[in-house]
Amino acid sequence: MIPTKITPTVLAGGSGSRLWPLSNEATPKQFLRLTSDWSMLQQTLMRFDDTARFKAPMVVCSEKYRELVIEQSAEISCSLSDLLLEPMKRDSAAAIAAAALRAATLDADALLLICPSDHLIHDTSRFTKSVDDAAALAARGYIVTFGVAPTHPETGYGYIRCGAKLEASDGLLVDQFVEKPDAPTACGYLASGRHLWNSGMFMARADVLVEELSKLAPDLLAAIRSAINEGEPADDATPGLKLGSDAFKTAPSISFDYAVMEKSKRTAVVRAHFDWCDLGSWDALADVMAPDTAGNICQGAVATVDVQGSYCRSAGPEVAVIGLENVVVIATESGVLVASKNACQDVKKAVAALSRPKGATELEAEHAGRVNVQ
Amino acid sequence: MIPTKITPTVLAGGSGSRLWPLSNEATPKQFLRLTSDWSMLQQTLMRFDDTARFKAPMVVCSEKYRELVIEQSAEISCSLSDLLLEPMKRDSAAAIAAAALRAATLDADALLLICPSDHLIHDTSRFTKSVDDAAALAARGYIVTFGVAPTHPETGYGYIRCGAKLEASDGLLVDQFVEKPDAPTACGYLASGRHLWNSGMFMARADVLVEELSKLAPDLLAAIRSAINEGEPADDATPGLKLGSDAFKTAPSISFDYAVMEKSKRTAVVRAHFDWCDLGSWDALADVMAPDTAGNICQGAVATVDVQGSYCRSAGPEVAVIGLENVVVIATESGVLVASKNACQDVKKAVAALSRPKGATELEAEHAGRVNVQ
């Protein structure tokens, strides 16, 4: 068992345009009941039910999602220890800096388990085992990521090249964080045996995170420190803080991976022994559901004729799919996605092209490639 | 020039489930503005603007579409000579029998030009030339169909095998009407040079139609005669009749082709010199529109990424299509069709499977084939 209890720190800020049209700016994917009666956020929070091991969770999200987070955590009787509301969209470095600073004021040694809110993990006991492995190293001052053994040459994930084994632990040093590879590179990673998928979850002491941020991203840390000082109560019933907008907006929009992980000398990795899936795209979601005999997954008012290997989902309209293989069809009253399964990573491009104010905020139009809009 | 003026007789009874989801029981395809600002019905009526050649048109349709027909004909300042309203769905033999009986009471020699209301014909002057060819033969007592020279081995149309040339005319006897063929048979027809597409339009004298019906479908003719006798005024402002329901419902549901054409000894065919398209399916509709440089036709709020040769149309929702070739995507708020272009003939099956009361009426579930509904 680990020395101190762990503070789960859930990042719920993503807008998830790759799961458009179900996911949009008003209701990003972490709040959707995509795979069960519970939303991805709720499934994430429920992973920390073991009060002997975990403190009450902390959540960082946009202030737009305050009600959604409060409602959805209340629905599963989860009391949050802290709710940090961001006044505008920044990337993960700002969110993690805020969480680390808030936790460190209470307890410098606080062990933070930083989790995105849109990952699917079913095996909670194996998850807990890996968390214990990571906690032991985090307590020693490492920033410990969870690496997932690749099952296929995925091009949608970042990878971790593993280094030397760390003494008296189940962890390894991180040799290098590598960006999302192209297909041949991903095949090489798979063959090497030295590469793990970067799950995006990690553990560290609050003081270690603050220290690394002060070295590697001092401006960002200073901005977030001011935003906390200028903050207001998040909610009457929930402990938390609405971060001060004047200071927060000066924080650079940068991911924690870029700002800290790729530069820090204190990174380690433990193997994730649990099932793990980043539900970042419709084909990933299709992969975790049980298909019918034709290899299709159909949800809602859907009829298929001569369709194989496809994911067809309606949140309202009647949908007919005919004579196609390996397609994804997702329909709501206001939006319809029709994509080849292996092109699901391009949903962002199409959403950007539709010039939806909803999904377009986090998109860079210049990356849109071959897009035609009529 | 022909001896008597022609009475255009427009059949507007179809429910057009193959153009689902735009076309449905409430608004069948003949009332939709599919290819221009005018509906298919309006385009059909406008073909008869030449008052030197044509009398005011007669329309036969379901009483459900009374308002639509009256509105759409008023919109193009077309006065109908007769509006015959069917109290329930029967096939074309009943509709044509009603038109023939009504016309014959006024003028036994009336020349009827029977036209479906969902055909696309742009070249009105060539159309008129073929009508004159047909009228000359119809006046001599023939039932004269319009045969279209096939441009490809279409399996969605019926064919006419042409017989001997008719003296002093541009027509031929009909050797045989043949059903929609399979692909190899269609190739044979194309190669033979003796086969024309059956356009579904034809001309005959009212008394000839009544005589042939009395020989070949006497029960049907008797039922329709009673339905006319029991009829009520169609509308205060429009001449016409709502056919009596008690008698009309006893009329067999059979197409005029089966009931009369295939058995009559008085059938002839003239070549259609005009462009002609039966907009019976989405791929046919795509064929008559101008594609963009990627070979796509996109209408409405549609974004495409890496899409070729496809027809994407939205009547409301935002639609994103990604990484696909030769597909048809048609979206409304209540229905979405996604089909391979060459599977558009199967839309009926899928609509039947969705158990829509709207489109399912004219469908036979037992023909639905490989259909899965969730």
In B, minimum Cα distance to A336 occurs at B319
User: What value of ipTM does the predicted structure carry?
Assistant: 0.79
CB spacing of A340 vs B324 below 8 angstroms = yes
CB spacing of A353 vs B292 below 8 angstroms = no
Residues in chain B with pLDDT values less than 70 = 1-3, 355-374
Mean pLDDT (chain A) is 90
Instruction: Break chain B down into helix, strand, coil percent, rounded to 5.
Output: 35, 25, 40
Is the separation of the CB atoms in B12 and B99 below 8 Å? no
What's this model's pTM, rounded to 2 decimal places? 0.80
Residues of A in contact with B333 (CB under 8 A): 317, 333-334
- With CA atoms as reference, report the closest residue to A293 among A274, A308, A277, A278: A308
Residue among B320, B340, B344 minimizing CB distance to A337: B320
Burial group, residue A214, by CB count within 10 angstroms (0-12, 13-18, 19+): middle
CB spacing of B318 vs A299 below 8 angstroms = no
Which of the residues A302, A328, A338, A348 would you substitute to probe the B interface, choosing the one with the greatest number of B C-beta atoms within 10 Å? A338
- With CA atoms as reference, report the closest residue to B108 among B6, B208, B223, B1: B208
In A, minimum Cα distance to B371 occurs at A305
What is the DSSP pairing of strand B302-305 with strand A371-373? antiparallel
Provide the pLDDT for residue B355: 67
Provide the pLDDT for residue B368: 35
Q: How near does any CA of chain B get to the CA of A216, in Å?
A: 39
Query: How many CA atoms lie less than 13 Å away from B228 in the CB half-sphere?
Result: 22
CB spacing of B372 vs A298 below 8 angstroms = yes
Provide the pLDDT for residue A174: 96
Residue among A299, A322, A340 minimizing CB distance to B340: A322
> What percentage of chain A has pLDDT greater than the value 90?
74
Provide the pLDDT for residue B330: 97
Label residue A172 by pLDDT band (50, 70, 90): very high
Is the separation of the CB atoms in A286 and A328 below 8 Å? yes
| Calpha distance A196→A270 (Å, rounded) | 10
Q: How near does any CA of chain B get to the CA of A313, in Å?
A: 10
Q: Which residues contact B83 (CB under 8 A, 6 or more apart)?
A: B58, B59, B61, B66, B69, B70, B234, B235, B238, B239, B240, B241
CB spacing of A333 vs B318 below 8 angstroms = no
Label residue A273 by pLDDT band (50, 70, 90): confident
- Indicate whether A370 pLDDT > 60: no
In B, minimum Cα distance to A296 occurs at B372
Is the separation of the CB atoms in A305 and A287 below 8 Å? no
Q: Which two tokens stand for residue B47?
A: 């073909």
Provide the pLDDT for residue A354: 87
CB spacing of B337 vs A322 below 8 angstroms = yes
Place of tokens 């200073």: A222
pLDDT tens for each residue of B226-248: 999 999 998 888 899 999 999 99
Residues of B in contact with A337 (CB under 8 A): 319-320, 322
Burial B110-129 (b: 16+ CB within 10 A, else e): bbbbbbbbbbbbeeeeebbb
pLDDT tens for each residue of A70-115: 999 999 999 999 999 999 999 999 999 999 999 999 888 899 999 9
In B, minimum Cα distance to A18 occurs at B320
pLDDT tens for each residue of B304-324: 999 999 999 999 999 999 999
A222: three-class secondary structure by DSSP: helix
- Indicate whether A35 pLDDT > 90: no
- Indicate whether A286 pLDDT > 60: yes
Provide the pLDDT for residue B71: 96
Residues of B in contact with A300 (CB under 8 A): 374
